[in-house]
Structure 1
Amino acid sequence: MTSPSSTPSFDAPYEGDLRADLQLALRLADAADAASMSRFDAADLEISTKADASHVTEADLATERAIRALLEAERPTDSVFGEEYGVTGDSHRQWIIDPIDGTANYLKGIPMWTTLIALSIDGVPRVGVASQPALGRRWWGATGLGSWTNTPAGEPKRLSVSSVGTIAESSVSFQSIGQWRDAGQLDALERLTSSVWRDRGYGDTWPYMLLAEGRLEFVAEFGVKEYDIAALVPIISEAGGRFTAFDGSHSLSDRSALATNGLLHDDFLQLLHSV
């Protein structure tokens, strides 16, 4: 992948046509949904522990394999970076996959988990799909093509971030106190929660999608990997928001994420980093 120092802005324009890639990403999500839902809430679900003490289920592995099989058939020259099987290939086009974001929820039978699929080109996420099949929800976007979600009527709805223009009127999601404590940012969290209208820890992918829908103004977290956030970038950017690392840089590898409605991005950065 392109190094953070040479990565352009996440919202930089792109001259290519991404429609075929977005359609493929949606088909990848269909294949992933079939694999993940086939074992969701199964009494005999196989669960193991990885070296970092996090859990992995048979469904995580099967879902990533389903995505990789379709990519091998249709984009054999592209690189793939998945949470469970690492990196294969060497290309400026890289598919970044989190087969089940929220494995702890999945293995408990809690429906708040998501498959995340992104296409990064020259280090910038250009296509993103976030699919929550247990809840029947999906969000998708690509540079220049807008960002969208499904509706009960079956018609896609274009997403747009909120027009809230002051921090005092903002509703924010901070994920968890433990994350901010471990990152040495409890003082920043206190400044944030003391300055906004409403704060909650909704967790994982969902708050980012609430932001893209115009229901939140700010989401931030720490300890994330590239596959946790790459798919979120084009969805939020195309909805009119901004996505950076916590320090304001455009890096997938910073292990942090900060997303806003765009209007308040600089104000939030100033608040969080004031001494």
Structure 2
Amino acid sequence: MSTPDLSLALRLADAADAITTARFLARDLRVERKPDRTPVTDADVAVEDAIRAVLAAERPADEVAGEERGGTVGAGRTWVLDPIDGTKNFLRGVPVWATLIALVVDGTPVVGAVSAPALGRRWWAASGEGAFTSDPNGTRRITVSGVHELGDAYLSTTHLGSWVEHHSREAYLKLADAVWENRAFGDFWQHCLVAEGAIDLAAEAIVNPWDVAPFQVLVTEAGGRFTDLAGAPRFDGGNALSSNGVLHDEALALLRG
């Protein structure tokens, strides 16, 4: 099933894919460094501008908050955008990057779309409508895993160094030691893998709202849980944990140290 807002989000993802795929591996890709020392490419800016133009025409009363052009999430309807999540991968030619689109209504994400064209993958969800993915083999509904024991769980994070600066490296390592396997799939992909049941936990010591807004609805519609590291179901808490739900509280307890 679909809703008008979800249909729009998927069309926005189509527009983004047309730009990002054309600029991926381009020899004339322009890269600059932002004040926080993170990179931004001409593709990041072009995608956000293109999405904002469509939203201005089709949802003129809605607010927009994006990584490159700014904006805030308040009351009412706000589209939250990350034009390229995984810019470091994008500029180095690693195909693991995606455009993230979420509609937040009164502080809660109700629509989420994640498009990773270099992987041939897309994930989406809307409140009450379930979670879905598409790949070259077609479209299917997704659910989180049924793993019930932390010792059987598969865990992912982004950059281990971020735990040193922003939370607790020791707490993360406690969780890593408690699970069956851990990797650093990083960024958007790990939360999508939780939603489709390929892994069981994804933890991040620091995130911006646009990094994770789609995953609150995607993971929960897939049957899992998405919270900050304090356990609050929010995308703007500055950090994040997504899980299959069963393992969530035990993982949170270890991450709290």
Q: Smaller-chain TM-score range? A: over 0.9
Q: After TM superposition, give the deviation of residue 253 of structure 1 in Å.
A: 2.6
Per-residue CA deviations over 1:152-210 (Å, capped at 9, x if unaligned) read: 233x1001000111111101012222011112412211211111111111111111111
Question: Given the alignment of the two structures, is residue 22 of structure 1 paired with residue 6 of structure 2, yes or no?
Answer: yes
Instruction: Give TM-score scaled by structure 1 length.
Output: 0.90
Percent identity over the alignment is 47
Q: What 5-or-longer segments of structure 1 have no aligned partner?
A: 1-16
| Larger helix share, 1 or 2 | 2
Match of 1:106 in 2: 90
Question: Conserved in 2, the CA contact under 8 Å of 1:78 and 1:89?
Answer: no
RMSD across aligned positions (CA):
1.6
Q: Displaced runs of 4+ in structure 1, greater than 4 A?
A: 88-91
Match of 2:131 among 132, 147, 150: 147
Aligned partner of 1:58 in structure 2 is 42
Contact 2:172 2:254 survives alignment (8 Å): no
Which one of 225, 234, 244 corresponds to residue 227 of structure 2?
244
1:230 alignment counterpart: 213
Q: Which amino acid counterpart does residue 244 of structure 2 have in structure 1?
A: N
Specify which of 199, 215, 221 is matched with residue 204 of structure 2. 221
More divergent stretch after superposition (79-88 vs 19-28): 79-88
Unaligned runs of 5+ in 2: none
State the 1:88 CA deviation. 7.6
Question: 1:126 & 1:31 partners in 2: Cα distance?
Answer: 21
> What is the SS of the residue equivalent to 1:187?
helix
CA contact (8 A) 1:78 1:90 kept: no
Q: Could you tell me which residue of structure 1 aligns to residue 255 of structure 2?
A: 272
**Within 2, Cα distance between the matches of 1:203 and 1:50?**
21
2:175 to 183, 192, 217: 192
Please, which of 151, 164, 168 is the counterpart of residue 147 of structure 2?
164
Q: CA deviation at 1:249?
A: 1.4
Structure-2 separation of matches of 1:88 and 1:223:
18
- Matched position secondary structure for 1:96: strand
CA displacement 1:205-247 (0-9 Å, x = unmatched): 1111111111111101022100000011111110001000011
The alignment partner of 2:198 has SS state of coil
Aligned counterparts of 1:174 and 1:50: Cα–Cα separation in 2: 24
**Aligned match of 1:115 in 99, 117, 122?**
99
- Using the size of structure 2 for normalisation, the TM-score is 0.96
- SS of residue in 2 equivalent to 1:81: strand
- Aligned equivalent of 2:51: 67
Q: Higher mean Cα deviation, 177-186 or 114-123?
A: 177-186
Taking the aligned partners of 2:135 and 2:41, their CA distance within structure 1 comes to 30
Q: Quick check: 2:229–2:256 contact (8 Å CA) kept in 1? A: no
Aligned length: 257
Higher RCO, Cα 8 Å, sep 6+: 1
- Residue aligned with 1:86, SS: coil
Residue identity opposite 1:219 in structure 2: A
